[in-house]
A and B are shown apart, each in its own frame.
Chain A
Amino acid sequence: MPPGAPAQLYPLGDAAVVVQFGDAISRATHAAIQAFGAHLARHPFVGLRECVPAFTTLTVYYDPWLVSDGGQHPPYETVADTLRALLATVGPPAAAATTNLVEIPVCYGGAWGPDLDFVARHTGLATAEVVARHTAPDYLVHMIGFAPGFPYLGGLDARLATPRLAQPRPRVPAGTVGIAGPQTGIYSLPSPGGWQLIGRTPLRLFDAAWAAPSLLHAGQHLRFVPISAAEYARTQQHEP
């Protein structure tokens, strides 16, 4: 898709429409997805179930029975027509709200980041330089996926790119911050994982008891802030 091309629509089965806004990860594509998602939230249609933003797409789930008014209209075509009309009336993307900056404290290295030394050797940087470069950018939360509360972040310093482990670990604790190729992210739940682990945040990223169960959501900006092991121990929220 050329930049600025109109969004494309296609079905994902018989109860979802994918709206595609571009072919590559970019802040402009992200802003267009956010703007359309907000527009749709202000103008919901009968039978709209929910939307899932991703790097270049917004997937819209619907109830075929309700959107077709009990089978009187073809469901997909009805939803696609509604979405095309909304695409024609969506305003320009809002300016990036960098004031909405979330700080994620991270204790780097040691037991919290057992692969920090490997990342330093692989990139030819001192460990302090790896931490400095990892804590410098404002990262953009492009999407939440893979696991409840897991953020896909844009903005990693290209010098920090490091391949995944050849052999994934059977269990990575919640809150662990990792690097995989050109990406960085935070494990939101304990899970198996092959990312290079460089640190851990004491914050919980996901809690089903919260009204909004994910700490982060698509469209937010965040920054990693280094903390000491003592501060980690004092503030840690994870279950033992």
Chain B
Amino acid sequence: MSLSVLHPGLLTTVQDLGRPGYQQAGVPVGGALDAVALRVANLLVGNDESAAGLEITLRGPCLRFDAGGLFALTGADLSPTLNGQPLQLHRPTWAPVGAELAFGAPRAGCRAYLAVAGGVAVAPVLGSRATYLRAGLGGWHGRALRTGDELPIGAPLPLGQRIIAELAKNQSSIAQARWTPGPQLCPAPRHRPVIRAVQGPEYGQFAVASQRAFWEQPFVVTAAADRMGYRLQGPALARLTDSELLSSAVTHGTVQVPPGGQPIVLLADRQTTGGYPRLAQVITADFGALAQAAPGQVLRFQEVSLDEAQALYLAQERAVRALQRGIQLRFA
């Protein structure tokens, strides 16, 4: 099976859950910015949650199924259609041979995820199929998709085959399942998201007024926003000292503040180390909400304790694991 790229969209890349283990060599973990959305899409088509899918940014591609295939879309609502027929998100969907998946105007959110039963079957690089654009590695030849690419799709797992057998009694017509995961795993991206964060290691080096401004004032995601991070625009944040910091680890969700005072929030393709003060750290449970903020959107930060962050992390993990078990039981 393969997917033919009739039109690539703005930025469509192959992503999985990233390549941990190489940060010592300066290689970021990378992978889907909204990892929970990709995991859910994979589970809906009977894949392992870490299978490779497509991350689709704002303006979606047009893709043709060169054979019939089971797929699911999660994350942003970018007005998806199959052969012109509007689709719902978060549902296993059967595409007959030759069907064309297209997208229209972005309705909510910035990044949609497409999982196809069997997964995108490119060769792993350093243990992952994720595309790391800066170094040109992983994914489809280390780059975003282009017109004419033919993406190989693996064979569906037995679970995926059972979902297909129930859904697609007639394989020549489109079918969408009636069931979806619970609302916790299908959040509608908010227009003005509130992103929860804990204090970063250098939080105490900032003026109290700047600390307060960070939690209370809105910030705009500027056009300088990519898979490495977003430059934000808002009140200038002042550090009390101008002592030079020594480079130390930064990670997905680190909010760092360069000398100009406008913060940068780092995403999955960030550097592994940095020398700017780390004001805050977005909690893992809100990486999805952060990934769904598009340039021009306004967001706010809300302070939570480490205990709350950990509780929210564990609750999210429980929800994903419950979905996985539920699908396995249903199609046992």
Contact = CB atoms under 8 A, between A and B. Distances in A.
Interface string B258-292: 00000000000001111000100111100000000
Contacts of B240: none
B132 to A, nearest CB: 8
Interface string B123-167: 001100000001101100000000000000000000000000000
A25 B244 CA distance: 12
Interface in A24-74: 24-25, 49-57, 59, 61, 64-65, 68, 71, 74
Contact of B24 (A15, A24, A52): A52
A74 B307 contact: yes
A133 B21 CA distance: 36
A16 B26 contact: no
A52 B310 contact: no
B318 A71 contact: yes
Given A12-B200, A13-B254, A189-B135, A52 B23 contact: yes
Contacts of B313: 14-15, 64-65, 75
Most buried by A among B26, B135, B274, B318: B26
B314 interface: yes
Interface residues of A, number: 47
A202 to B, nearest CB: 20
Interface stretch (A120-128, A141-149, A193-201, A222-230): A141-149
B22 A13 contact: no
B187 to A, nearest CB: 19
Most buried by A among B25, B246, B284, B317: B25
B273 A145 contact: yes
Contacts of B22: 50, 148, 213
A71 B314 contact: yes
Interface string A195-238: 00000000000101000111001100000000000000000000
A153 B282 CA distance: 31
B249 interface: yes
B314 A65 contact: yes
Interface of B: 20-27, 125-126, 134-135, 137-138, 198, 200-201, 246-249, 251, 253-254, 271-274, 278, 281-284, 306-307, 309-310, 313-314, 317-318
Q: Which A-B residue pairs are the 5 nearest by beta carbons? A: A145-B273, A59-B249, A13-B281, A214-B25, A14-B309
